[in-house]
A and B are shown apart, each in its own frame.
Chain A
Amino acid sequence: MITKPLQPILTVSVPPHAHCGRTIKGYMSETLIALLPAAIMAIVAFGMGAMRVVALSCAVAVLTEAICNKLTKREQTLDDFSGLHTGLLFAFLLPASAPWWLVTMGAASSIIIGKMIFGGLGANPLSSPLIGWATCRISWGDAMDTNTTMLMSELPAPLQQLKYFGLDSVETIDSISLLLGKQLGGLGEVQIAALLAGGVFLLIRRHIRWEIPVAFIVGVAVTAWIYQLIDPTAYASPLFHLLTGGTIFGALFLATDPASTPVGPIPTILFGLMAGIMVIVIRVYGIYPDGVPFAILLANLFTPLLDRIRPKPFGGAYQLTQEPEDEALCEKC
């Protein structure tokens, strides 16, 4: 029997009926807005090459996500901009000279093995754009080298010079030009001033919290300072390390990825410090000039462990118990 429902039909839903108004789409689009100044600066600095890489990376990332969703028969999630976000972050790590196949492979692997394979948005244990970066860096190291592929450029490559020619070779580079992005590196990650502006915007909008960026920067600065104390003639200053390569980009945009980072105040600070210290350790001892991506990936691996640092739950730990006789009863059946 079909009974006519009482009019008007009300919406029935679960509490709470109030919400702060935040959406995934809002978070993603505001992060994209925060990245926009750096993208523009990159195009100004590196010309159409940068634009080509950014556009291709974003397009491939979005397309790959759509195909993955199609293949796994999931609902299309392109309208939350998360694919675009990953694609843009990945493009920021590439040199402006990157060939099309490198961009395509990297953006596709960011999405496939960085994100979709783990179950899509929110399930990635590691920062997805860094997975794409690591894939490319290990597989096609020459093509990823921001210095050798950009020989036409007159800009300095501070981290490579520091690594291969020692501290003397970078002493002439002044901090202001570094801050304004006049250096070689990933096309977006070196736009320090623009990234700082975007980061402040995200902090004000409370999309990211201060703990990870601050701890990351403190970790970098203090470790660099310690090395400088050990031997001022061999190791660069903390300021140099902060203003070169992807330090600021990593601190504000990569290490703050929601899914792959811990949450509580102590875990986040430890996470940031750990990643920051690793950056300098890799820059000093590693074979890669810039240690930021690998430092963050390593710290990401510690996230499940760091998340175990928890306050005591309300009222203490409690387990719903069965009656004592159940044990014997269950053994029988």
Chain B
Amino acid sequence: MTTFNFSLLTGDTGPLVKGTEPDRLHIPIHAHTPILAAGDQVLAGTKIATANQPGEGDLHAPMSGVIKAITPDYMRIAVNGDERADATKPPADLGELKQWLREQGVNVGNLNQASRLIINAVPPEPGITIYDPLLRDYRKTIELGVETIQRIASTSKMNLVAAKGNRANAFANCTVMHVAPTYPNGLDQLVIKAVTKEEVLLGAHHKDAVLLSVRDLYFIGRVMETGRPVTETVMTIGTQNHLVRIGTPVGFLAGEAGATVQPGDRLILGGLMRGMAALNLEQGVNKDTTGLQLVRDDESIKATDSPCLGCGECERHCPARIMPGMLSRCSEFKFFERAEKFHIHSCIECGICSYWCTSQRPILHYIRLAKYELALLRTATSNLPTDTQEETGQQTGESE
């Protein structure tokens, strides 16, 4: 992977392409609870699952069809017909608006009351150029999204953060800020830092700022405009940006783009630094997917369990100023508590440590494992039942 570089410059991107319609959808639902059963007929826009996490948006069928199967991970819909569910009107009342947006599939988790709105227009990862066509061709929609957020979060100040060298025209009453066009400057934590000079941990919210990406604002604008739920995502496939229905199988998208997937290749949902490898060609994209990349078997890195050399390359490149190598060792030998002493929670999960690791250790994965184990450790002790009878009762209840 010597051709890879960290530049976030987008260059000239073409218009947003509307993809061909697939004949089946595999909608990921591991964070949602399905409300329909297999065999049910759905229209485009019918709600199919409610979110488990507060703030997370609900799921809707992107196209009309029949639900063929529901597994814990995905819902399979065979597409037929093109009927659409009725559009709803956004409520006039501000209090209900947020809830309405959530029901329309918008993630409203960070729409708190704040004085500042930060619009992230820095590409999240190298090779992902989704913000460029949105900012250029869908200004009206984004402006509507901005207006909606200003009403909900009652923000008075606005900053647009863009990578230096990429096109970004300001909105009304908006200050444009430029950051260096190199990864990881597009990550939310670093964008918040660039604007407010404050460092916010991954998973925490800034107390007086709301950060939304251009894409978030575009979809909020679209929901307000049409009264129809979010059922699509914007993805960079190759050099083009596509508007893709969620649940579209990655194999279908790769085929549309003209790529032949060989055994042993990787299909990456998202960018190469933080993206998730697809399990198989039928895996569907979800609302957060920003891109699709094909990595050939012979050009990919194979993570090893080689020991950490202690060379410190990870530490020198770490934007969070922590010791990823040491954290990976703590995690490797299950010293999770010690990982906390080495400031594991400061990690913003950019993956740069693993990129530079001479031993090719999966450092980011080790860090995520330690974070997960720590969370488990803490919640396990806090959820301890008060007496043993209740415990057995709960266990049998759960097993049923």
CA distance A260 to B312 in the complex (A): 11
Chain A residues whose C-beta falls within 8 Å of the C-beta of B302 in the assembled complex: 13
* A317 close to chain B: CB less than 8 A: yes
The stretch that binds B, out of A17-25, A103-111, A141-149, A194-202, is: A17-25
* B201 close to chain A: CB less than 8 A: yes
CA distance A113 to B351 in the complex (A): 35
Residue of A nearest to B362 (CB): A14
Per-position 1/0 for A285-326, Cβ under 8 A of B:
000000000000000000000000011111111111111011
Are B266 and A13 interface neighbours, CB within 8 A? yes
Per-position 1/0 for B305-348, Cβ under 8 A of A:
01111111101100111110000000000000000100101111
Are B354 and A19 interface neighbours, CB within 8 A? yes
Per-position 1/0 for A237-267, Cβ under 8 A of B:
0000000000000000000001111111000
* B360 close to chain A: CB less than 8 A: yes
CA distance A26 to B359 in the complex (A): 10
Are B355 and A318 interface neighbours, CB within 8 A? no
Chain B residues whose C-beta falls within 8 Å of the C-beta of A317 in the assembled complex: 343
| Contact A8-B281, Cβ < 8 Å, known A19-B1, A20-B356, A315-B200 | yes
CA distance A220 to B200 in the complex (A): 44
* B295 close to chain A: CB less than 8 A: yes
| Contact A15-B351, Cβ < 8 Å, known A119-B307, A313-B343, A315-B199 | yes
Chain A residues whose C-beta falls within 8 Å of the C-beta of B364 in the assembled complex: 14-16
State which residues 362-387 of B face A: CB under 8 Å. Answer: 362, 364-365, 374-375, 378, 381-382, 384, 386
Are A24 and B272 interface neighbours, CB within 8 A? no
- Distance (whole angstroms) from the CB of A117 to the closest CB of chain B: 14
* B264 close to chain A: CB less than 8 A: yes
CA distance A314 to B295 in the complex (A): 32
CA distance A7 to B262 in the complex (A): 9
Chain B residues whose C-beta falls within 8 Å of the C-beta of A83 in the assembled complex: none
Are A311 and B316 interface neighbours, CB within 8 A? no
Per-position 1/0 for A1-42, Cβ under 8 A of B:
000011111111111111111111011000000000000000
Residue of A5, A7, A18, A320 with highest tally of chain B CB at under 10 A: A18
Chain B residues whose C-beta falls within 8 Å of the C-beta of A318 in the assembled complex: 201, 343, 345-346
Partner of A27, one of B200, B316, B358, B362: B358
Chain B residues whose C-beta falls within 8 Å of the C-beta of A333 in the assembled complex: 384
- Distance (whole angstroms) from the CB of A293 to the closest CB of chain B: 20
Are A310 and B321 interface neighbours, CB within 8 A? yes
Residue of A nearest to B268 (CB): A17
CA distance A311 to B319 in the complex (A): 11
Are B303 and A14 interface neighbours, CB within 8 A? yes
Residue of A13, A22, A262, A319 with highest tally of chain B CB at under 10 A: A13
State which residues 286-309 of B face A: CB under 8 Å. Answer: 293, 295, 297, 300-303, 306-309
Are B312 and A258 interface neighbours, CB within 8 A? yes
* B33 close to chain A: CB less than 8 A: no
Are A10 and B273 interface neighbours, CB within 8 A? no
CA distance A83 to B197 in the complex (A): 48
Residue of B nearest to A262 (CB): B312
Are A8 and B261 interface neighbours, CB within 8 A? yes
Chain A residues whose C-beta falls within 8 Å of the C-beta of B345 in the assembled complex: 315, 318-320
Partner of A18, one of B301, B319, B362: B301
CA distance A26 to B358 in the complex (A): 9
* B176 close to chain A: CB less than 8 A: no
* B85 close to chain A: CB less than 8 A: no
Chain B residues whose C-beta falls within 8 Å of the C-beta of A323 in the assembled complex: 382
State which residues 49-103 of B face A: CB under 8 Å. Answer: none
Number of B residues, CB within 8 Å of A: 75
Partner of A24, one of B201, B274, B358, B382: B358
* A121 close to chain B: CB less than 8 A: yes
* A213 close to chain B: CB less than 8 A: no
Are B267 and A10 interface neighbours, CB within 8 A? yes
Are B309 and A258 interface neighbours, CB within 8 A? yes
- Distance (whole angstroms) from the CB of B274 to the closest CB of chain A: 5
* A71 close to chain B: CB less than 8 A: no
Residue of B200, B297, B355 with highest tally of chain A CB at under 10 A: B355
Chain A residues whose C-beta falls within 8 Å of the C-beta of B352 in the assembled complex: 16
CA distance A264 to B311 in the complex (A): 11
Chain B residues whose C-beta falls within 8 Å of the C-beta of A14 in the assembled complex: 277, 303, 362, 364-365
| Contact A15-B309, Cβ < 8 Å, known A315-B199, A318-B343 | no
Are B354 and A16 interface neighbours, CB within 8 A? yes
* A55 close to chain B: CB less than 8 A: no
Are B2 and A21 interface neighbours, CB within 8 A? yes
- Distance (whole angstroms) from the CB of B212 to the closest CB of chain A: 20
* A87 close to chain B: CB less than 8 A: no
| Contact A314-B381, Cβ < 8 Å, known A6-B282, A9-B263, A258-B311 | no
Partner of B264, one of A5, A11, A310: A11
A-B contact list, 27 entries, CB within 8 Å: A8-B263, A8-B281, A10-B266, A10-B278, A10-B280, A15-B273, A15-B275, A16-B301, A18-B272, A19-B355, A21-B1, A27-B358, A258-B310, A258-B311, A260-B310, A261-B310, A263-B323, A264-B315, A312-B321, A313-B322, A313-B346, A314-B199, A314-B321, A314-B346, A315-B345, A325-B382, A326-B384
Interface residues of B (CB under 8 A from A): 1-2, 4, 189, 199-201, 204, 261-268, 270, 272-282, 293, 295, 297, 300-303, 306-313, 315-316, 319-323, 340, 343, 345-348, 351-352, 354-360, 362, 364-365, 374-375, 378, 381-382, 384, 386
8 nearest A-B pairs in the assembled complex, by CB-CB distance: A263-B312, A19-B301, A314-B320, A16-B351, A313-B343, A258-B311, A313-B346, A8-B263
